[in-house]
């Protein structure tokens, strides 16, 4: 059972004992991602994620940090998305004090050395270039641009190259001072942890200052007709995202949406996999996923398909959307989706980092935590009627959005399918 503790200074700590494992994972998650940025500093959250490993007052360069973690056989990394940034270290449980010390040191005492920043600019620009050359990844960014237009959610997490070249050390220090504080930072620790873990975390993170809840520009899902974005690029395969607006993270139907997504494209026995790949041979990869933000969300099908068959693939996906609205799913298919959901959760939560992430992300994004048992209880209550009701709510022609990358000059063939 997890334990949530709010320390005297306001810092929240989530500790999750896992007596069966010998590792410990410590995760610092911050309610600060790309949607909290402006057009001018877009990319700073991700830039900061890179720079936090480049040296502190106590450990003055990246080698001092990496060699320390490598020396205990630990693993460490960081991530940035639209609404959060996270930093974590996982190691044998006997080293939990050390990893807390390293994480807190990076969070509160990073140098943000200008010389290191200048070197890292090139690294990030090459990362941007890499994704530009990976249409499988790039098409997801284009889909969100299509969905959210001029809203911060439309901006790419890595930022634009111009911004990366212009962000200064002063910008980064100011961003940390403004965005990283006790109301935005949550520390999660899972695995071989003891009863007094929260006090220990408090000792290491006592330098995290107080602050006010970070604010973002609210998004609204308003769409009256289908939309599409065709990005011309010479490729051997078309990469597409076809999706609809759906629900935010705290919506009462989010578990219904999760089961629906599992049925649609969540695994290798899903409808999309069987229809697009197995039956017609149109794609190598095809799947669907649901993205949930604070205020909005979407469900999207993604595939890499044969260029001459791209329009056919879009048509098949639209048809599969329609089938979920027209006819209730069978009892067998519904139960299989529920069992698959449970099985995936069980496997994921055998890992101490995944456990730390499971609980900490809920606290950061929702300010509340549901246990796996509570979530699965709600999943198991989902009915075929619920699936059809939600399908009819989201799978409407006016809600369709298609982003596609490939050497397409005639965009009209896709317009006919999504009835633009």
Give, for 92, the enclosing helix (H) or strand (E): strand 85-92
Partnered with residue 104 across adjacent β-strands are none
d(C-alpha 249, C-alpha 292), whole Å: 5
Burial class (CB in 10 A: 0-12, 13-18, 19+), 102: buried
d(C-alpha 365, C-alpha 13), whole Å: 14
Angle at 50 between CA 108 and CA 248, to 5 degrees: 90
d(C-alpha 275, C-alpha 272), whole Å: 5
Radius of gyration (Cα) for the chain, nearest Å? 22
Whether residue 126 lies in the annotated active site: no
d(C-alpha 18, C-alpha 306), whole Å: 46
Partnered with residue 418 across adjacent β-strands are none
Q: 185-191 and 23-30 as β-strands: parallel, antiparallel, unpaired?
A: antiparallel
What single-letter DSSP state applies at residue 17?
E
Q: 12-17 and 3-6 as β-strands: parallel, antiparallel, unpaired?
A: antiparallel
Angle at 338 between CA 294 and CA 82, to 5 degrees: 20
Pure H helices in 180-270: 197-204, 254-265
Q: One of 49, 83, 120, 320 is an active-site residue; which one?
A: 49
d(C-alpha 156, C-alpha 34), whole Å: 8
d(C-alpha 226, C-alpha 325), whole Å: 18
Neighbouring C-alpha atoms within 13 Å toward the C-beta of 153:
21
d(C-alpha 30, C-alpha 361), whole Å: 9
Residues serving a catalytic function are 49
């Amino acid at each position: 059972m997890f334990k949530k503790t709010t320390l005297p200074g306001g810092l929240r700590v989530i500790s999750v004992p896992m007596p069966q494992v010998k590792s410990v994972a410590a995760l610092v998650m911050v309610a600060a991602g790309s949607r909290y940025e402006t057009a001018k500093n877009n990319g700073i959250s991700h830039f900061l994620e890179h720079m936090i490993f480049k040296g502190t007052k106590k450990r003055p360069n990246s080698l001092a940090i990496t060699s320390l973690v490598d020396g205990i056989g630990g693993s460490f990394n960081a991530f940035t998305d639209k609404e959060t940034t996270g930093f974590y270290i996982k190691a044998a449980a006997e080293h939990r004090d050390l990893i807390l010390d390293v994480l807190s040191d990076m969070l509160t005492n990073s140098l943000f050395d200008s010389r290191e920043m200048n070197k890292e600019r090139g690294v990030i620009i090459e990362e941007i270039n890499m994704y530009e050359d990976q249409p499988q990844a790039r098409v997801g960014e284009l889909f969100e641009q299509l969905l959210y237009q001029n809203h911060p959610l439309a901006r790419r997490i890595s930022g634009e190259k111009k911004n990366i070249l212009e962000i200064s050390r002063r910008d980064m220090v100011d961003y940390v001072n403004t965005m990283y504080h006790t109301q935005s930072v949550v520390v999660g620790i899972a695995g071989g942890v003891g009863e007094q873990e929260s006090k220990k975390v408090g000792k290491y993170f006592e330098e995290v200052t107080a602050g006010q809840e970070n604010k973002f520009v609210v998004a609204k899902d308003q769409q009256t007709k289908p939309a599409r974005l065709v990005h011309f690029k010479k490729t051997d395969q078309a990469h597409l995202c076809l999706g609809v607006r759906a629900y935010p993270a705290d919506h009462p139907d989010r578990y219904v949406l999760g089961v629906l997504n599992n049925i649609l494209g969540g695994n290798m026995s899903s409808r999309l996999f069987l229809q697009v790949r197995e039956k017609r041979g149109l794609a190598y990869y095809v799947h669907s996923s649901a993205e949930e933000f604070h205020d909005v969300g979407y469900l999207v099908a993604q595939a890499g398909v044969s260029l001459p068959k791209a329009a056919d693939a879009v048509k098949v996906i639209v048809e599969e959307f329609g089938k979920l609205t027209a006819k209730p799913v069978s009892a067998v298919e519904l139960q299989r989706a529920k069992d698959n959901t449970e099985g995936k959760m069980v496997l994921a939560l055998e890992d101490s980092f995944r456990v730390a992430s499971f609980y900490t992300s809920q606290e950061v994004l929702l300010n509340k935590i549901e246990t796996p048992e509570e979530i699965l209880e709600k999943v198991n209550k989902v009915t075929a009627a619920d699936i059809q009701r939600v399908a009819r709510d989201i799978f409407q022609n006016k809600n369709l959005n298609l982003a596609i990358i490939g050497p397409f000059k005639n965009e009209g063939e896709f317009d006919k399918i999504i009835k633009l």
